[in-house]
Structure 1
Amino acid sequence: MMHQVVGGVLAGALLLSGCAAGSSASKQSDSLAGSSWTLMAFRQGAGDAAEIRPMRPDQYRLSFQADGRLVAQVDCNRGSGTWQATPAGSSGALRLGPIALTRMMCPTDPLAQRLPQDLDALHSYRIVNGRLQLELAGNAGTYIWTRVQP
């Protein structure tokens, strides 16, 4: 299995600021633990910026396991890693990683290359109207996900 390497670190090895140091499942956010999400769009910048939508949304999924494990699908690539969240109401700090992704040649999709490169810049999450928003540092953009019903 090949892994995507960015800057000497596996793509998705996320060390995000303001994160909890705990690793037990009891410290995971109730709103994320045991949930799965499908990518709807990436909104670049703040405000009413244009959205980039995946060509096949069902090919982009994050599953936050209750035991702190993260299972990811990014287009035709799959991977896994760990996650921790420090909730503050409906938002909070998020730490993912390290995440190892396969590196297969997927059909062209505007988000297939962008998402793995942005993973290390994610710094927080919030849930608004039932949608998960993973936010990049410096208001550089937001990934918007919808919950997958079991």
Structure 2
Amino acid sequence: MKTHFPLALAIVGAAALSACATYEQPAPITGLSGSTWKLVSIASTDDAQGVKTPGERSYALTFNVDGTLNGALDCNRAAGRWTTSGENGLSITPMTLTRALCPEPRLDTVLVEHLPHVASYQIKDGRLFLTLQADGGILEFEPAS
């Protein structure tokens, strides 16, 4: 029994120390955290600009749990940061974009130009809608598969 006492004491001590260890709280869970969305359309409130769709090309955004935002935008890649506020407020920093020459027509630069102007988001019927400031339009996304 004497040989097991030091081992048991060491285990109890290690358990007590691990209970005192600090850890970083995970980011609050939102509907966006850890999700990837594929662009369906860019709709402007200005009828002259109409609705832009990606056609056969893929424009996807990933809202990482650490607050980073990655884009796989046709033949280019983009990176930035995102934060939420209130019930559905959303802020996206200006994104960096690689400069590969994608074939026309292209929406990568249009999308990257709109993202810092997003004011809010809504997930409805399985789709993500990003509303631009000052009635600037709506970006519609579907879940990426």
Residue aligning to 2:101: 105
Change (3 A) 1:28 1:102: farther
Report the structure, 1 or 2, having the larger strand content: 1
Q: Distance in 2 between matches of 1:99 and 1:115?
A: 10
- Give the RMSD, CA atoms, in angstroms: 2.3
- Could you tell me which runs of 5 or more consecutive residues in structure 1 were left unpaired when the two chains were aligned: 1-23
Residue aligning to 1:71: 70
Q: Where in structure 2 are the equivalents of 1:1-150 lying within 5 Å?
A: 25-29=26-30, 31-45=31-45, 50-57=50-57, 59-86=58-85, 88=87, 92-149=88-145
Report the structure, 1 or 2, having the larger helix content: 2
Q: TM-score normalised to the size of structure 2? A: 0.72
**Contact residue 45 and residue 136 of structure 2 kept, 8 A:** yes
Deviations 1:59-99 (A, max 9, x none): 200001112111112221102222111252xxx11112242
Q: TM-score normalised to the size of structure 1? A: 0.69
Change (3 A) 1:83 1:28: farther
Residue aligning to 1:6: none
- Could you tell me which runs of 5 or more consecutive residues in structure 2 were left unpaired when the two chains were aligned: 1-24
Q: Count residues in correspondence.
A: 120
Deviations 1:32-73 (A, max 9, x none): 1110000011111189x953211234x200001112111112
Higher relative contact order (CA 8 A, sep 6+): 1
| Sequence identity (%) | 31
Change (3 A) 1:112 1:81: closer
Q: Distance in 1 between matches of 2:117 and 2:94?
A: 13
